[in-house]
Amino acid sequence: MTQHLSQPEFPAATVLGYPRIGPHRELKKAVESFWAGRTDAHALEATASDLRARTRSHLAALGLGADDASVPLDFSYYDQVLDAALAIGAVPERFTDLVGDDGTVDLAGYFTIARGEGDRAPLEMTKWFDSNYHYLVPEIGPATPIRFVGRRRVQEFTEALNAGVRTRPVLVGPVTFLLLSKAADGAPAGFSPLDRLDDVVAAYAELLAALAAAGAPWVQLDEPALTSDTWDVPRDEVKAAVARAYGTLAAPSSSRPALFVATPYARLGCAIRELAASGVEAIGVDLVRGSAPDEDVAGIENVTLVGGVVDGHNIWRTDLDAAAEKLAALEGVGAARVTTSTSTSLFHVPHTLDDEPNLDPTLKSWLAFADEKVGEVLALAAGPDGAPEAFAASREVRSTRPTTAGVRRPEVRERLAALTEADFHRAAYDARVAAQDAVLDLPPLPTTTIGSFPQTAEIRRARAAHRRGELTDAQYAEEMRAEIARVVTLQEELGLDVLVHGEPERNDMVQYFAELLDGFAVTENGWVQSYGSRCTRPSILWGDVSRPAPMTVEWSAYTASLTSAPVKGMLTGPVTILAWSFVRDDQPLGDTANQVALALRDEIADLQAAGIGIIQVDEPALRELLPLRRADQQAYLDWSVRSFRLATSGAVEATQVHTHLCYSEFGEVIEAIDGLDADVTSIEAARSRMEILPDIERSGFARGIGPGVYDIHSPRVPSQAEVTELLSAALGSVGARRLWVNPDCGLKTRGYAETVDSLRNIVAATREVRAGLGVPTA
Ligand code: MET
Ligand SMILES: [Zn+2]
């Protein structure tokens, strides 16, 4: 008898995953205390075990079945992709010494691979699909060891079972794992990590068997990569890999668990055929971003379709009637069964609204965080007759939200409606260059920074004291001004050409603006994991956006009063403000972006009037929201670029508009970057050793550009010689006329000692390179 005939049914209601960091960031604190040497591995493991216990009993208390694989087991100390790599022993060569005789890596070694150590670079970090979560990129080569070694998930399963909860272990699926990997250094040309599919599948088969032997009826394999068609690997090869991987993993066998393959973040599209044919027992589809398959899928009659109808990626209360309709449509596909779940893991949203006593009650009634979403899934599984109160509450929100004050502000709407094409265009670039050259008087290869300077303990203390009311507004402003003065003096001493104020007053580059704009709310405890132990607290953009008063002018004007050097004003762009907030779901994102843009446009006008001649509008998240399907990308780039232009095109010719982007997939969005029409663009480049230069050259990008020469993600100080080399390379592709000199990104996470040494080397290297150009050095 094969396993898939005797397995239990897939649970009627579940979630794809749950926040892992702890309701009060317990895991973050425990991990950081371990890193600091304050606690040992045993203490960290004990905290992690307590947290897992809390999560599973909490989810069971909320109503998920305790014994039927309803409760996902998705704990991670740092990152789920790193966990998958280590479960199959895929450790890059430079970390081989961390591997024990049995092929495993202990906790200290795990964090070393995640964070690097001395000259050993960590695994590269990059964005997880279109979210603000960052995963670690595995490095796979022809000789990378791949075999099942890591039993952590098995032990966690047993731990839960012993405590009376039969969980559903969650793993990154093998195809997604390899698509997210990069070829290890030294791999031959033409090698693709996917070439190692059979080895990875063999290791996964053993891991699955171990989980089944421990008593797991179901295992969840996350395959979000199948929803994207932007991989280097052709679509047909991805489909063939799915068929091959799941043909093996889901082959009839009495020693494997039933398999649930989840495909969050977008529409699954055609790979559903390969999955359905492979013999997997359940397939999860994202019905928030995607839709039910609209063609016949052979084999679907043997599969449970798990409808992801509760948005795991945003915080709005679900329209339960609409969700129920989507589930009904999914019924029409002809699967053996349809069950209810979230569209993605809930780790993108905060734990619970119960921790937000001060949130406006009306707004709160429109929201659902992770715990509330569990309730929604259960209500949908019960249906309107089984959960009449939940459906009634959802209808109530639907009817009152649109007419609540602040959701639609006539003055904002009228201003948007009155925009004309001219509002999206500045004067021609050449005219701007002439006007700017006339007023700015900058040397060739001007040096600057990206905005923030190190956030010292004193700054943080002052901000916290101000928040608690222990510092008056005036006292707080005094402290910030003192810090700005210090940063200005430092920059003058270092000899930087364009100065910044250092952003001491900003807790976060998005939240700072969210707190000053109408239409936003901020949470007290709404933490979500960004990477590793790092969490952010996204703001909630719930209503029409407008700017009651200038937001940055006072700080920038004060800065300018301290120096005769040009000062660069600093704003966060509309796309990044949207990407790093929870954004209203009741109108197109482009409309919301334009509202934010108009507020920024007014801010730029005020900065200009205050004498600030250079203004940087940061858009580090431009690449992040890029849709996972090529067909959807152009529309996104159109509205995102337009919103930036709306924000900046009110600037007069003589005002130099800068933008900053930190991810180096420059080539992918180069046309959009060009479309921003900024006078100067700074981008991350040092970390990738100027990999972007050929892209810049090829694209014919013709405006000012500052490829970063200092990797600010590491405490390492780049030497003068190193910076000179990077600059010479950049000079070769960009030319002296357009090249700017700057770090990869802001300096707020760095310490002062290394920052000062690095900037000193950067200025010295710039002078060396300028001297070689035969132009004056100071
Ligand atoms: C993530 S991009 C950061 C830009 C910001 N101006 C800073 O310097 O911190
Ligand atoms: Zn940056």
Provide the ipTM.
0.99
More confident residue, 37 or 698: 37
Contact 236, 191 (CB under 8 A): no
- The pLDDT assigned to 3 comes to 44
Q: Is 132 annotated as a binding residue?
A: yes
Contact 578, 596 (CB under 8 A): yes
Residue whose structure tokens are 């940055």 = 552
Mutate to test the pocket of ligand 1, among 127, 660, 744 (most ligand atoms within 8 A of CB): 660
More confident residue, 27 or 4: 27
Q: Which of 360, 253, 366, 286 is nearest to 319 (CA)?
A: 366
- The pLDDT assigned to 664 comes to 62
The number of angstroms, rounded, from the C-alpha of 256 to the middle of its chain's C-alpha atoms is 34
Nearest ligand 1 atom to alpha carbon 572? 6
Distance 751 CA to ligand 2 centre (A): 17
Q: Is 218 annotated as a binding residue?
A: no
Q: What is the spatial distance between Cα 221 and Cα 259, in angstroms, rounded to a whole number?
A: 7
Longest dimension (CA), the chain: 84
Distance 695 CA to ligand 2 centre (A): 19
For the beta carbon of residue 749, count every other beta carbon within 10 angstroms: 13
Query: 3-state SS string over 355-371?
Result: HCCCCCHHHHHCECCHH
Contact 530, 132 (CB under 8 A): yes
Nearest CA to ligand 1 atom 3: 746
Q: What is the spatial distance between Cα 81 and Cα 89, in angstroms, rounded to a whole number?
A: 12
Backbone angles phi, psi at 282, to 5 degrees: -145, 145
Q: Measuring from each residue's beta carbon to the nearest atom of ligand 1, which residues come in under 6 Å?
A: 450-452, 503, 509, 570, 618, 620, 660, 662, 745-746, 748
Nearest ligand 1 atom to alpha carbon 506? 9
- The pLDDT assigned to 226 comes to 96
Helices (H), 387-495: 388-400, 410-417, 429-440, 457-467, 473-494
30 token code pair: 């425990």
Which residues, in sequence order, are bridge partners of residue 305?
283, 338
Instruction: Please compute the mean of the pLDDT values over residues 502-527 and round it to a whole number.
Output: 96
**Each residue of 427-456: pLDDT tens digit?**
999 999 999 999 999 999 999 999 999 999
Q: What is the spatial distance between Cα 665 and Cα 623, in angstroms, rounded to a whole number?
A: 8
547 token code pair: 């700017």
Cβ neighbors of 353 (< 8 A, separation 6 or more) are: 359, 364, 367, 368, 369, 371, 372
Mean pLDDT of all residues belonging to the chain: 95
Cβ neighbors of 603 (< 8 A, separation 6 or more) are: 547, 550, 551, 552, 553, 571
650 token code pair: 């009110």
Domains, the chain: 3-403 (3.20.20.210), 410-772 (3.20.20.210)
Contact 656, 436 (CB under 8 A): yes
**Which amino acid appears at position 174 of this protein?**
P
The H helix count followed by the E strand count for the chain is 27, 21
Nearest CA to ligand 1 atom 8: 746
Q: Is 398 annotated as a binding residue?
A: no
Mutate to test the pocket of ligand 1, among 132, 509, 616 (most ligand atoms within 8 A of CB): 509
62 token code pair: 């909320």
- The pLDDT assigned to 118 comes to 80
Helix (H) / strand (E) element for 324: namely helix 320-331
pLDDT at 223 over 60: yes
Categorize the per-residue pLDDT at 775 as very low, low, confident or very high, splitting at 50, 70 and 90: low
Strands 581-583 and 539-546: parallel
pLDDT at 183 over 90: yes
509 token code pair: 């580059």
76 token code pair: 């991670």
Backbone angles phi, psi at 467, to 5 degrees: -60, -40
Strands 218-222 and 282-286: unpaired
Instruction: Please compute the mean of the pLDDT values over residues 641-665 and round it to a whole number.
Output: 94
Query: Is residue 348 annotated as part of the catalytic site, yes or no?
Result: no
Q: Is 222 annotated as a binding residue?
A: no
Cβ neighbors of 262 (< 8 A, separation 6 or more) are: 16, 220, 221, 222, 223, 224, 283, 284, 306, 308
Nearest CA to ligand 1 atom 9: 746
Nearest CA to ligand 1 atom 6: 451
Percent of the chain with pLDDT over 90: 89
188 token code pair: 């031959």
Percent of the chain with pLDDT over 70: 98
Instruction: Please compute the mean of the pLDDT values over residues 411-428 and round it to a whole number.
Output: 98
Q: What is the spatial distance between Cα 10 and Cα 285, in angstroms, rounded to a whole number?
A: 14
Helix (H) / strand (E) element for 534: namely strand 534-536
pTM over 0.90: yes
Categorize the per-residue pLDDT at 5 as very low, low, confident or very high, splitting at 50, 70 and 90: very low
Q: Is 524 annotated as a binding residue?
A: no
pLDDT at 40 over 70: yes
Distance 255 CA to ligand 2 centre (A): 49
**Each residue of 326-369: pLDDT tens digit?**
999 999 999 999 999 999 999 999 999 999 999 999 999 999 99
Categorize the per-residue pLDDT at 6 as very low, low, confident or very high, splitting at 50, 70 and 90: low
**Each residue of 604-613: pLDDT tens digit?**
999 999 999 9
Q: Which of 275, 308, 302 is nearest to 290 (CA)?
A: 308
Q: Is 337 helix (H, G, I), strand (E, B) or coil?
A: strand
Q: What is the spatial distance between Cα 339 and Cα 773, in angstroms, rounded to a whole number?
A: 68
Q: What is the spatial distance between Cα 502 and Cα 494, in angstroms, rounded to a whole number?
A: 14
Q: Is 131 helix (H, G, I), strand (E, B) or coil?
A: coil
Categorize the per-residue pLDDT at 714 as very low, low, confident or very high, splitting at 50, 70 and 90: confident
Q: What is the spatial distance between Cα 735 and Cα 702, in angstroms, rounded to a whole number?
A: 10
**Each residue of 657-711: pLDDT tens digit?**
999 998 767 778 889 999 999 999 999 988 777 888 888 888 888 999 999 999 9
Q: What angle do CA 417, 423, 424 make, to 5 degrees?
A: 110
Q: What is the spatial distance between Cα 420 and Cα 430, in angstroms, rounded to a whole number?
A: 23
**Which amino acid appears at position 460 of this protein?**
R
pLDDT at 277 over 80: yes
Burial class (CB in 10 A: 0-12, 13-18, 19+), 49: middle
Among 134, 313, 501, 713, the one annotated catalytic: 713
- The pLDDT assigned to 778 comes to 46
pLDDT at 1 over 50: no
